[in-house]
Amino acid sequence: MCPIRLVDVKPTETLTALHGLHQLPRGCIASWLAQDQSCPMCKSGGLAGKPSPRTPLTQAR
pLDDT at residue 44 is higher than 80: no
Average pLDDT over residues 20-34: 84
Higher pLDDT, 53 or 20: 20
Residues ≥6 apart with Cβ < 8 Å to 53: 17
pLDDT at residue 14 is higher than 80: yes
CATH class label, 1-43: alpha beta
pLDDT at residue 31 is higher than 60: yes
Domain limits, the chain: 1-43
The Cα–Cα gap between 18 and 12 comes to 19
In angstroms, the first-to-last Cα distance of the chain is 13
Query: Quick check: pTM over 0.75?
Result: no
pLDDT range class, residue 47, cuts 50, 70, 90: low
